[in-house]
Structure formats: structure tokens, C-alpha cells
Amino acid sequence: MNVSSLQSVLDLNTYAAGSVKESSKTIDGTSVFQSLYDAAVNQIQETDRLTNLAEEEAIKFALGQSDSTHDLKIAQEKANISLQYTVTLRKTVLEAYKEIMSLQF
């Protein structure tokens, strides 16, 4: 999981709270929105990859190609945790967006 995506959300929340005075504030040469977007896309791709791995392990177990319930459970838990993190990140981004939209200039 990409921890930098969480930092992007925190930066966006700081931006929404009015701590940043310039509308063109950047992080390492990219806009706050761009870094947030990139982190979200990366997190979705990672979640998709882990979900596919869990499905492959389940298929291997069902076909008898693997008899390790341990590997199956680990793959499923990784996919589950990644999905929960992605949903939480989405919720945080939406809350930050709503807060930005409610700002009065």
C-alpha cells in the first residue's frame, strides 16, 4: 500500500482549511490535486492487483493445485485490508472535496 497517498490527503486537508494562501501551491513541482490523483490511481491499481492474487489463490486451492490454506488466507486478508484502505481514502478525499467546495472566498 502506498503511504504517500495518505500524505496527499493530509496536504489537501491543510489546503482546504485555509492554511495555504496561494492557489498554485505545489508539492515537489506537481499540484496538490495531481499528486492526490496519482496516489489514488496507484492505490486502486494495488488493490486490484491484490484482489486478483487472492482470486488466483482461491482457484488454485479449489482445483487442488495448492493445499496451503495459509497462503489462501494471507492473500485474502491482504486484498481485504487494501480494499478497506482504499474505501477509507476515498471517504477522506470526498470529505476534503466537500470542505473545499463549502469555502467562501
Taking only the tens place, the pLDDT of each residue in 38-53 is 888 999 999 999 999 9
Residue type, 51: T
Taking only the tens place, the pLDDT of each residue in 10-28 is 554 454 444 444 444 665 6
Q: How far apart are the first and last CA of the chain?
A: 36
Of the candidates 9, 5, 16, 7, which has an alpha carbon nearest to the alpha carbon of residue 40? 5
Taking only the tens place, the pLDDT of each residue in 70-88 is 999 999 999 999 999 999 9
More confident residue, 7 or 57: 57
Is 10 in contact with 35 (CB distance < 8 Å)? no
pLDDT of residue 22: 47
**Please, which pLDDT band fits residue 62 given cuts at 50, 70 and 90?**
very high
Q: Can you give the pTM of this predicted structure?
A: 0.65
